[in-house]
Amino acid sequence: MDFPVLLIFLLPILAVWGGFAFAWFAQPKDKKKVHLLLAFSGAFLLALIFFELLPHVYQHDNPRLVAILILSGVLLQIFLEFFSKGAEHGHMHLNLEENRFPLLLFLSLSVHALVEGVPIYDSQPILYGIVIHKIPVAIVLGIFLLNSRMKKVTTLLFMGAFSLMTPMGSYLAHHSSWVEDRGYLLTSLAIGVFLHISTIILFESSQGHSFNLRKLVVIILGVGLAYFL
């Protein structure tokens, strides 16, 4: 991959902290623009699945196993959302009444972030897709945590640890021989996760599923950008 290795690990971290910083300092009240950014990221990620990831994993000899793992990725994400309540696609349905560390939320988001880090090392467009995806998610997550009863130190600890998970997944994918040998299988699992996340984002980013011209435009832009990368 003709791309600085440091940026592979650094960009996802910066995306999380950039989104969180925006939530902290801007304190956005109107989430419509965030939802448009989510729709763009969902369309971009969905297009990359078809343009980049699916052709890659189906080059291997066991297409049925690939399909099973993709479906397993969808099921994995559904399971994780029982604990994250939709944080991965920018919709928080949690109510933090206590100021303790939300461990289940953190663990579910961490598993998701680890899985999405696997295909980054071998695909520059996927890296961009993950970065674009993380910014609005970090904004929504930041708004939620900052408005909860959690201490600011706990919130910063949460975001700091969460920001490291995707780079950790990328590191394991490249530096662990066990993971590297099974890279396309783990990428297949990641495809299922991405497929669920991106489609849910596109469905949920409209109020009442009504026609929204701006949403349609950003979706087309997301798909177009993915095609030309």
Q: Using 50, 70 and 90 to split pLDDT, how confident is the model at 31? A: low
pLDDT for residue 226 is more than 60:
yes
Outline where DSSP puts E strands in the chain: none
The whole-number pLDDT of residue 195 equals 93
Helix, strand or coil, per DSSP, at residue 2: coil
The whole-number pLDDT of residue 118 equals 87
From the CB of residue 177, how many other CB atoms can be counted at a distance below 10 Å? 7
pLDDT digits (tens, 9 = 90+) for 165-215: 999 998 888 787 776 677 788 899 999 999 999 888 887 755 555 557 888
pLDDT digits (tens, 9 = 90+) for 107-166: 888 998 998 898 887 788 899 999 998 998 898 888 888 888 888 898 999 999 999 999
Question: What's the pTM?
Answer: 0.86
Q: Using 50, 70 and 90 to split pLDDT, how confident is the model at 10? A: very high
Distance of alpha carbon 44 from alpha carbon 220, whole angstroms? 9
CA distances from residue 21 to 101, 124, 224 in whole angstroms, order as listed: 20, 25, 29
Bigger pLDDT: 90 vs 202: 202
- Alpha-carbon torsion (182, 67, 77, 87), positive or negative: positive
Distance of alpha carbon 166 from alpha carbon 119, whole angstroms? 10
CA 196 to chain centre: 11
